[in-house]
Amino acid sequence: MNPTTRSRAIKLFRYTENASRQAHHAVAIAPPFIYLPLFSRKKISLAAQDVSFENQGAFTGEISPLQLKDLGVRYVIIGHSERRKLGEMDAIINKKIKAALNAGLAVILCVGESKRRGFNDAIRFIKRQLLADLRGISKLKTLNSKLIIAYEPVWAIGTSRFDPPDDAGKVIHSIKNFLNTRYKIQNAKVLYGGSISSKILPRYLHRPSIDGALIGGASLKLKEVKAILKF
Q: State whether residue 28 is helix, strand or coil.
A: strand
SS3 content of the chain, % helix, strand, coil (to 5): 45, 15, 45
DSSP H helices in the chain: 6-20, 65-70, 81-85, 90-102, 119-133, 143-146, 165-183, 201-205, 222-228
- Known active-site residue 25: no
Select which of 82, 113, 152, 206 is catalytic: 152
- Known active-site residue 224: no
For the chain, the straight-line distance linking the first and the last C-alpha, in angstroms and rounded, comes to: 27
d(CA 101, CA 19): 30
d(CA 33, CA 50): 9
d(CA 173, CA 156): 19
Q: What phi and psi values does residue 60 have, to the nearest 5 degrees?
A: -55, 130
The sign of the dihedral angle between the CA atoms of 16, 18, 19, 21 is positive
Select which of 54, 62, 80, 173 is catalytic: 80
Let me know how many helices (H) and strands (E) the chain has, helices first: 9, 7
**213: number of Cβ within 10 Å:** 22
Q: Which residue numbers are catalytic?
A: 80, 152
